[in-house]
Structure 1
Amino acid sequence: MRIARWSTPQGVGEGFVIGERVVPYPDGLTVADVLARGLDEAHRLSAAVHDDDGTALADVRLLAPIVPAAIRDFVAFEEHVEGVSASVDGKSEVVPEWYQAPTFYFTNPHTVLGPGEAVRPPVTARLDFELEVAAVVGGPGGANLTPADAAAAIFGYTIMNDWSARDLQSREMKVRLGPAKGKDFGTSLGPWIVTADELEPYLDGDGFLAVRAEVFVNDERIGHDLVSNMGWPFPELIAYASRNSRVVAGDVLGSGTTGNGGCLAELWGRRGELTPPPLTEGDTVRMVVEGIGELVGPVGAAVAAPELPAARVRSRARTRDERVAL
């Protein structure tokens, strides 16, 4: 099954993509409702509306297939870490701590973009894409899940483009936090959610999703990889995210950037130069993932933000009286 959200002159629709048509859920249900009810209920609903006429897919504008509850983005590809560390941090390395647990950061669920929706980046000299596959959680979710429990919580998968301003990211990560403003201006998701059962034939014997992923800039292929080159399979990423915490229906968990040119920064780090060049207004990034589909993201004009002053030099007084005396 393919789960989608779309826009028409009559409003936003949410439901199934069946062949070349979109069919709304019955009873006004939303994607969020169906994710919460789980995959079995989605199959029942699909059977109930399978013969409905719906609307031609060509006559609607696809939106991001989900309004995420939260977005966690992992860094699960060793090859990506090797290359991008040189570009962002100035030193190519995979630190020992990377191998110990699947690290992630939280990104902004309020700046999600849909298929064909232009990213409006901050002013940056090093705009980049990141080719990823994301798992979408369904059902009740839970805390401290085992990998088996986490596998059962995967409702489906979508393509994720984690847009990145590498110069901003490099500055803020020198402060031992982030990425933050280097990332949170836009994350593209789509074109739809493909349910987990559809991708079961691509799972290898160790539970890794062995689908081919490619990325093109202006129709030139920049990178390609197998998603099974992740250091951990998706169920283990979700299990780790739930440790002493909770994952819920609607959570999106990105794989992290694939290797072998899954982003420009990896290539910049390996080559020691900005080749291929950073993205600029008018470029188009197209991501193709086997079994899921194609996600296109154009680059729009940068948005200049209001200036903020640098940190002030402070006295480090410990009382107001001491501060006045100084």
Structure 2
Amino acid sequence: MGEGVVPFPEGITVATVLAGGLAKARALHNQVADETATPLSDVRLLAPLAPASVRDFVAFEEHVEGVSASVDGASHVADEWYEHPTFYFTNPHTILGPGDTLHPPVTERLDFELEVAAVIGGGRANGSNLTEEEAASHIFGYTIMNDWSARDLQAREMKVRLGPAKGKDFGTALGPWIVTADEVDPFVGDDGFLALRAEVFVNGKLVGEDLLSNMGWSFPALVAYASRNSRVLPGDVLGSGTIGNGGCLAELWGRRTEAAPPPLTEGDIVTMSVECLGTLVGTVGTAVEAPPLRRAAPRPRTRRRT
């Protein structure tokens, strides 16, 4: 409602609106069109939804090139990356909203990741084994996503060929709101890619910038792939993966062969702006040290009790 906000009528929740799809959202908008809005400056925005699940893809080739150099010492994109989109599931229970302070684990390599996420709503078909056209109808809208990452923890656990897990699941920020899919239609090209400009700043200094249209797959393609032999449901969040050209620090570390800019530390402010979607700000707070956990002990591998 311009620069103001109004509540959903009759106690309706975001989850209910998403399940109803864009048609439900338009009807609700018309229902509250004459309501007096509260100025945006007078409210504190929470995360725009409580996700049912969070899938995070890796859809930018340039990002893969840079990060692989920081891990392996040389840029490389596996042939398998080009065959199908790849994603992992992260934690829907540690979602942060705009302006929230992150309290990371103890880490020497804290990083941000600038992404855009598609939010699933009610579509024209069952959410399983969707075509790209059907998948597009399930995209309710888009929001900015910051996939906070502890790169040292992530590197250690992925040597076991599983994850990422604890290097990621401590915090994912979404916001500042969900922009409905029809509002970004003017930015969708003939090839189906969303040409929005994205930028990220650390303490006011520009670190990365890219166009979303540099993704290897469109958002409908990501949703279609996620639905293969599975289901996507209203409230699911699907991240694009980190943009290229400085969408995270690890990419720059790989390209420059040094940790420059340095890893994030307490007090750093990360500001992400995406054309049409708004600005998402997050501050790094104090790290939280978890209770110690013993190492695994070699076992005798006996097969029977004696």
Partner of 2:257: 272
The secondary structure found in structure 1 opposite 2:93 is helix
Code of the residue aligned with 1:252 in structure 2: it is: V
Partner of 1:180: 165
Partner of 2:122: 139
CA distance in 1, matches of 2:4, 2:215: 34
Measured after TM superposition, the shift of residue 123 of structure 1 is: 0.2
Measured after TM superposition, the shift of residue 87 of structure 1 is: 1.7
Of 180, 202, 218, 2:203 maps to 218
Partner of 1:3: none
Partner of 2:23: 40
Partner of 2:297: 312
Of 60, 64, 78, 1:95 maps to 78
Partner of 1:108: 91
Partner of 2:180: 195
Of 231, 236, 245, 2:216 maps to 231
The secondary structure found in structure 2 opposite 1:243 is coil
- When normalised by structure 2's length, the TM-score is 0.98
Structure 1 runs (4+) deviating above 6 angstroms are none
Of 45, 50, 65, 1:82 maps to 65
CA distance in 2, matches of 1:85, 1:51: 53
CA distance in 2, matches of 1:306, 1:268: 30
Partner of 2:266: 281
Map 1:47-66; keep pairs closer than 5 Å. 47-66=30-49
CA distance in 2, matches of 1:21, 1:42: 17
Partner of 1:117: 100
The secondary structure found in structure 1 opposite 2:26 is helix
Higher RCO (C-alpha 8 Å, min separation 6) = 2
Of 238, 241, 248, 1:263 maps to 248
CA distance in 1, matches of 2:209, 2:73: 24
Partner of 2:193: 208
Measured after TM superposition, the shift of residue 221 of structure 1 is: 0.2
Of 148, 152, 155, 2:137 maps to 152
The secondary structure found in structure 2 opposite 1:109 is coil
The secondary structure found in structure 2 opposite 1:62 is coil
Report the aligned-residue RMSD. Answer: 0.8
Measured after TM superposition, the shift of residue 116 of structure 1 is: 0.4
- Structure 1 window deviating more from structure 2 (49-58 vs 28-37): it is 49-58
CA distance in 2, matches of 1:135, 1:46: 21
Aligned pair count reads 304
CA distance in 1, matches of 2:212, 2:100: 25
- Structure 1 window deviating more from structure 2 (67-76 vs 138-147): it is 138-147
CA distance in 1, matches of 2:221, 2:71: 27
Measured after TM superposition, the shift of residue 88 of structure 1 is: 3.2
Q: Is the 8 A contact 1:128 1:279 kept in 2?
A: yes
Of 155, 158, 174, 1:170 maps to 155
Partner of 2:278: 293
The secondary structure found in structure 1 opposite 2:177 is strand
Partner of 2:227: 242
Asked whether 1:130 is paired with 2:100, we answer no
CA distance in 1, matches of 2:50, 2:6: 19
Measured after TM superposition, the shift of residue 89 of structure 1 is: 4.3
Q: Is the 8 A contact 1:88 1:166 kept in 2?
A: no
- Structure 1 window deviating more from structure 2 (312-321 vs 230-239): it is 312-321
